[in-house]
A and B are shown apart, each in its own frame.
Chain A
C-alpha cells in the first residue's frame, strides 16, 4: 500500500502526466487497455492514471524475463499486481493469452502493450497478435486504446535516469472485434486507434 503510493507519486512527478479521457470514462467493467510502449515507466503510469477502484481490478501484463529478475523488480511487479508473461517459452496450453484470460476471470481488466517491446517513440510499431486472440476468445472485453506521449523523452530505451518532462496519457473510445474481421484488419484498426489519439488536442 505504502510502496504503491510512493511509486505512484514518484511516477506522476517524474512524468508530470496529464490524463485525458476522450469519448471514454473510467469504469470497472472488464477491459483491455492497450497502449504504445516506449519506457519502463509506462506500466506504472497507466496504472496510476486510473481511479483507485478501477486500479484495484486492473492488472498490467509485463514481461517475465524483465520483471522477474532481482528482488526489487519482483517486489515492484507484486505491488502492481502485475501479470508476468513468459515471452521466451510459449507452450501450447500455456500461451500468454490463455494465462491472461485465466488470471482475470470475470472481474479484472488488463493493461497490455501489443508492440511486444519498447519502441523509439516517434511511431507506433506493428501490433503482435495477442490482442486479436484475446478478443476472439472473450469478445465481451472492451478494448480501450491508450496513447502515451513524450515518455520516450522522459526515459528513453537504454537510459536509466529519467528527465522529468511533461507527458500525456490519452484514453480513447472503446472498440471491439467486429464479426468476420480478419486478424490483420483488426490489428491495423487497433494500431490506428492508438495513433489517432496522438493527434487529438
Chain B
C-alpha cells in the first residue's frame, strides 16, 4: 500500500470514529428532543459501516475476492427482497434461476471483466427469461406484477450492486491497482457521508418532508444540504481519486449523494407497501443487508458509467 492508500484509510477511520462518537454523545442527550428512532437507525448504520469497511480493505489486495464479497452481499440482499415480496407458487422455478444462476453469473462476468456481457446480461437475457419462465408455469394471475417484482429485485440487488466492484477493473490511464481500490473507497465513503449529511441537515433544518407517507425523515433541506456537503467532502478527498479536475470529484460525490437518496426513497416505498420496518433479521434487530446497501445499489451503476465517460473509456 502506498502513502495515499494509508492516508485514505486514516481519513476513513477518522470519519467513522467521529460519526460513532457523535452518535453516542447525541444519544445520551435526551433534552435535545431529536427523532430517537432515526438516531437509533443512524447509530446502527455506523456500526455496520465499520464492518463493511473492514471487508472492503480486501480491495487493495484482491479484486476477485472483493467481487466475491459483493456477490455474497447481493445474494443476501436479493433473498431478503424476495422473502418480503409475495410471490406465487408458479414463480418457484423463475426464482430458482434468478438466485442460483443469474446472480452468480453476473459476478463471474465482473470478475473476468467481460464488460460487454455483464452490462447487458441481466437487463436483456435475465429480464426476458423471467417472464417466459413464469408464463410456462401456467399461472397468469397478476402476471406483470409478479414478473416486475422479480425483475426489480434482480436489477437493484444484483445488477446495480455489481458495478461497485467493477470499479476495480476500470482501465484508468494505466493507474495502479491501489488507485482503483481508492476509487471504490471514495465511492463508498461518499455514500456514507451523504447518508450522514442528509440526516444531520434534515434534523437541524428539515422543514419540508418530501413524502411523509414514504419516509418521514427525508426532507428537501436534507437532500439539498446533504448533497452540497457531500460535494464539498468529495472535493476534500480529491487527492485520493484518479479524477484530474477538482470539480469532477465534487460532481461525482454529488451524483452519489443524489442517487443514494433515490435508492433510500425507493426502498422505503417498497418497505411501506409491505408494511415492514426493515428487510431482514440476519442479526437480531439489526435490519438486513438490503437496508444498509440501498444507497450504494442506486449509486453504483451511475457512478461507474460517468467515470467511464470522464476517462473516455471505450
A residues adjacent to B (C-beta < 8 A): 16, 18, 120, 150, 153, 156, 159, 161-166, 168
Q: Would you call B92 and A156 a contact (CB within 8 A)?
A: yes
Q: How large is the interface on B (under 10, 10 to 19, 20 to 34, 35 or more residues)?
A: 10 to 19
Contacts of B231 in A (CB 8 A): none
Q: Would you call A163 and B280 a contact (CB within 8 A)?
A: no
Q: What is the CB-to-nearest-CB distance from B92 to chain A, in angstroms, rounded to a whole number?
A: 6
Contacts of B83 in A (CB 8 A): 16, 150, 153, 165-166
Contacts of B291 in A (CB 8 A): none
| Given the contacts A159-B92, A161-B96, A163-B92, A16 and B79 also touching, CB distance less than 8 Å | yes
Q: What is the CB-to-nearest-CB distance from A171 to chain B, in angstroms, rounded to a whole number?
A: 15
Q: Would you call A153 and B87 a contact (CB within 8 A)?
A: yes
Interface membership of chain B positions 81-105, coded 1 if the CB is closer than 8 angstroms to chain A and 0 otherwise: 0110001010011011001100000
| Given the contacts A18-B281, A153-B87, A156-B89, A163 and B99 also touching, CB distance less than 8 Å | yes
| Given the contacts A153-B87, A156-B92, A164 and B281 also touching, CB distance less than 8 Å | no
Contacts of B92 in A (CB 8 A): 153, 156, 159, 163
CA distance A101 to B150 in the complex (A): 47
Q: What is the CB-to-nearest-CB distance from A25 to chain B, in angstroms, rounded to a whole number?
A: 16
Residue on A with the closest CB to B282? A18
Asked if B195 lies at the interface with its beta carbon under 8 angstroms from chain A, I say no
CA distance A153 to B82 in the complex (A): 10
Residue on B with the closest CB to A149? B83
CA distance A164 to B83 in the complex (A): 9
CA distance A120 to B87 in the complex (A): 14
CA distance A57 to B159 in the complex (A): 46
Q: What is the CB-to-nearest-CB distance from A80 to chain B, in angstroms, rounded to a whole number?
A: 25
CA distance A159 to B90 in the complex (A): 11
Contacts of A164 in B (CB 8 A): 79, 99-100
Contacts of A159 in B (CB 8 A): 92-93
CA distance A86 to B284 in the complex (A): 40
Q: Would you call A166 and B280 a contact (CB within 8 A)?
A: yes
Q: Which of A120, A159, A166, A168 has the most CB of B within 10 A?
A: A166
